[in-house]
């Protein structure tokens, strides 16, 4: 952008000087003063007596005006560009989505039951856009405040009808259970349940899924047990 500005101003100055050299040979760069015998400093009189000098001075004034206008316009464009970059960075920063499954094994693998509540150890990651889901601990930390959609599906295979085991889990926000899909085995050996919630999270809030006492889950590469969330809109 600076190179363009320099070339433009150079071209205008060149045209001005060319006019002085080739059109008016009897030019003078000195304004008439008391030593030249003319005591009238009126620019209009100068333009009458020395049109070459007057023309270049007027051209320089126009160049100054154009330079000022050009710089002002450039500054405004730079401000708009910075605003656009900020909006783009905000959009990029607000992208947040994750989806995981309990396992990706060929055969059916079960987790639980345990004597104490335990965070579910998801093994397979579909997506972790924005890196909000911390692997290993499987806790999602909201990168920014907004409304999030959270979905949780659980499935288990009790092995035979009548067993007391249940397919269940607890959706936690900052360690507090806010929802929990549950189906206790009664009529058949397979149980499943799903919940989908929309909730407001503040930046830094943590979302996790725990396996309560007496519950167990089973999964394979069909991905019956999933934990999914994404940002609907930030504010």
Mean pLDDT by 10 residues, the chain (235 residues): 54 52 45 47 54 68 83 86 78 80 89 86 91 84 92 80 70 90 62 89 94 87 93 85
* Spatial distance between the Cα atoms of 229 and 231, rounded to a whole number of angstroms: 7
Task: Identify the pLDDT of residue 53.
Answer: 61
Residue 92 has a pLDDT of 65
| Whole-structure pTM value | 0.60
| Contact between residue 182 and residue 168 where contact means Cβ atoms under 8 Å apart | yes
Q: What is the pLDDT of residue 30?
A: 46
Question: Do residues 126 and 227 touch, judged by C-beta distance below 8 A?
Answer: no
As a CATH number, domain 95-234 is 2.60.120.40
pLDDT at residue 31 in the model: 45
What's the rounded Cα separation, in Å, for the pair 6 and 96? 46
Sign of the alpha-carbon dihedral angle for 103, 105, 108, 114: negative
Three-state DSSP state, 125: strand
| Residues whose CB is less than 8 angstroms from the CB of residue 12 and which lie 6 or more positions away in sequence, other chains included | 59, 62, 63, 66
How far apart are alpha carbons 113 and 177 in whole angstroms? 19
Q: Which helix (H) or strand (E) holds 168?
A: strand 166-168
202 and 218 in contact (C-beta within 8 Å)?
A: no
The domain locations on the chain are: 2-93, 95-234
Cα distance from N-terminal residue to C-terminal residue, the chain: 36
DSSP 32: P
């Amino acid at each position: 952008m600076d190179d363009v500005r320099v070339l433009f101003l150079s071209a205008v100055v060149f045209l001005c000087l060319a006019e002085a050299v080739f059109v008016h040979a009897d030019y003078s760069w000195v304004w008439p003063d008391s030593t030249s015998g003319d005591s009238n400093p009126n620019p209009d009189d100068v333009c009458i007596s020395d049109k070459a000098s007057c023309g270049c001075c007027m051209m320089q004034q126009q160049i100054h005006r154009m330079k000022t206008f050009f710089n002002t316009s450039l500054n405004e464009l730079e401000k708009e560009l910075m605003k656009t970059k900020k909006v783009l960075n905000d959009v990029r920063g607000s992208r947040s989505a994750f989806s995981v499954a309990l396992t990706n094994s060929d055969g059916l693998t079960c987790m639980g039951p345990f004597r104490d509540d335990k965070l579910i150890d998801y093994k397979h990651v579909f997506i972790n856009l924005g890196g909000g889901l911390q692997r290993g601990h499987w806790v999602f930390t909201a990168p920014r405040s907004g409304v999030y959609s959270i979905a949780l599906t659980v499935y288990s295979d009790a092995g035979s009808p009548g067993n007391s085991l249940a397919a269940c889990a607890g959706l936690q926000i900052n360690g507090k259970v806010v929802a929990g899909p549950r189906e206790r085995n009664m009529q058949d050996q397979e149980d499943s349940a799903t919940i989908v919630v929309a909730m407001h999270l503040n930046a830094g809030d943590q979302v996790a899924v725990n396996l309560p006492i007496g519950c167990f889950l089973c999964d394979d590469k069909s991905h019956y047990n999933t934990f999914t969330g994404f940002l609907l809109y930030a504010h």
